[in-house]
Chains A and B, each alone.
Chain A
Amino acid sequence: MDRNDLLSLWLTLRLALSVTAILLAVGTPLAWWLARTASRWKGPVAAVVSLPLVLPPSVLGFYLLLAMGPHGPLGHLTAALGMDPLPFTFRGLVVASLLYSLPFTVQPMQSAFESQGRRLLEVAATMRASPLDAFLSVAAPLALPGFLTATAMTFAHTVGEFGVVLMIGGDLPGATRVASIRIFDHVEAMDYGAAHRLAGTLLASSFLVLLSVQLWRPRRRTA
């Protein structure tokens, strides 16, 4: 592997870690809200969260590009904040990946919260636990398998994305050239050996991430 390959792997890792960390922080309350609410907004919000699952990445990427551009709402926002425009930057990749990987964070956690039902939270309330306390001491520990799945899926999915990255980030070494793009470059250049080395690394590491989740997953307990 040459220096550019290693650079693309490092960039991929940074992107996946940033996106996973941010999505766990944002996705947990969102998943909790979706699992508990009786609001009429639940349906629309859930549908928006799931959109990236069914949309072609190029569609998502296209609209994101427009939104981030100088005339889009995100473009206005970055301009108002005195920041560089997001397209073709690492930050732009993070923002795009947040949207693209959102359902992989929210859905496992939402179903973990939903499967708990309300009873144990009511029990916690009758034992003087405030709603936040009950969430931290009962709901979150019981949803641990859901958290693990969400973390692994979000991480692995961000590592593997291609279309959105290509639309938003392009192919700038050290800034937006992630491993999946680099592999595409190798294949296009007919350098199958280099493509194999990088693709094999991704294949093996993704497998190891998913395997470790399976092994660490706590045994399912009956409530």
Chain B
Amino acid sequence: MDGIRATLRLDRTGFSLETDIVIPDRGITSIFGPSGSGKTTLLRCVAGLEPAASGTISVRGERWQEGKFFLPAHKRPVGYVFQEASLFPHLSVAGNLRYGLRRSATSRIGLLDRAVELAGIATLLERRPESLSGGERQRVAIARALCVDPQVLLMDEPLSGLDQARKSEILPYLERLHEELEIPILYVTHSAEEVVRLADHLVLLDAGRVRAQGTLPDLLSRLDPGIRLGGDPGAVLEGTVGERDGIWHLARIDFPGGALWARDTGIAEGRSVRLRVLARDVGLSLEPPRDTSILNLLPAKVEEIGEDDHPGLALARVRVGSTALLARLTRRSAATLGIAPGRQVWAQVKSVALMDERGGGEEP
């Protein structure tokens, strides 16, 4: 079942939004794009906060908007985390949580406790919003959004106003939401790091139009320069910790079609992890190189070659089993080695970034 289908149109002076998006029923869908691309507006349309928007929205089979029919915001079962926490200043933390709890249609038992536990705010309940730090406020805002028992969780750059330390404080909670909530989460951001770390699905927005949408591994391994997140191109792959080598402090990450060794960051065996492999860290050779310091050597098949940022460079997408990697190479190497679609090669992966609870990446 689709989570959210939305065909929307909104015209303002100097800006128009025209989108057609399909969002899966579970997991985090990141809405990514430069500022002014309409990310927040799209989220507000889904929440019913833009009555001027026309089009259709259906969520988990329910019609929220179609033609003249417009379900008002307070009747849409969404949880909304605004960019600034926007807590009610006249209520305590507990009062803020109960506000939505009292008004939610289901008011399931344990909803409040679970939200409090998920956001880690048990010790803050009696506090006033003005006495909280920025990170605490945002966690309360997340818990508050969960207390309405939402069918969809909408998050508008929940980390953007926070410094790096506060971001690292909240990211693990977001990852827990991701693991534990069985509802679609729409997550607006302009941070490539948050996308790579959290998103399963990606909607790329530019000037009010959808540039591309799809699963994160699929979109990030495309060669089209228009759909990069900014910064270095690189593939994202999902795997599980297969083995931890205590002697050399390495962890083997198994993914469909192969395995990669990464520096052991203490993640337990069997846990699923996400790896980011930048194109500049992947080299291609026709024969398996001998006596190299590079640990990760994978048999791969070249699928497509495309342009890179510089005329001397090219990007190649190669498949290792069913998993795609990007490799950056010079055009000269591509020509002299005869690297072309269909060719069997060896991919040497110099460095792997493990997206783990500590934020950012780790390199072996």
Contact = CB atoms under 8 A, between A and B. Distances in A.
Name the residue among A123, A126, A129, A222 with the largest chain B CB count within 10 angstroms.
A126
Interface string A100-120: 000000000000000000011
A49 B265 CA distance: 68
29 contacts: A119-B82, A119-B84, A122-B73, A122-B82, A123-B80, A123-B86, A124-B88, A125-B48, A125-B49, A125-B74, A126-B73, A126-B76, A126-B79, A126-B80, A126-B145, A126-B148, A127-B99, A127-B104, A127-B147, A127-B148, A128-B100, A128-B103, A133-B103, A134-B74, A137-B99, A142-B90, A221-B89, A221-B90, A222-B130
Interface in B242-259: none
Nearest to B49: A122
A212 interface: no
Main secondary structure, interface of A, reads helix
Q: How large is the interface on B (under 10, 10 to 19, 20 to 34, 35 or more residues)?
A: 20 to 34
Q: How large is the interface on A (under 10, 10 to 19, 20 to 34, 35 or more residues)?
A: 20 to 34
Nearest to B85: A123
Contacts of A119: 82, 84, 86
A138 interface: yes
Contacts of A173: none
B47 A126 contact: yes
Nearest to B105: A128
Interface of B: 47-49, 72-76, 78-80, 82, 84, 86, 88-90, 99-100, 103-105, 128, 130, 144-145, 147-148, 154
A127 B86 contact: no
Nearest to B144: A127
B103 A129 contact: yes
Nearest to A119: B86
A141 to B, nearest CB: 5
Contact of B89 (A128, A134, A142): A142
B86 A128 contact: no
A211 B68 CA distance: 54
A120 B99 CA distance: 12
A43 to B, nearest CB: 21
A9 B267 CA distance: 81
Interface string A54-73: 00000000000000000000
Given A122-B49, A123-B82, A222-B130, A130 B74 contact: yes
Contacts of B145: 126
A126 B78 contact: yes
A101 to B, nearest CB: 28
A221 B100 CA distance: 22
A215 interface: no
Given A122-B49, A123-B80, A129 B74 contact: yes
Name the residue among B76, B84, B90 with the largest chain A CB count within 10 angstroms.
B90
Nearest to B48: A125
Contacts of B78: 126
Given A119-B82, A123-B80, A126-B80, A223 B89 contact: yes
Given A127-B103, A129-B103, A221 B130 contact: yes
B143 to A, nearest CB: 12
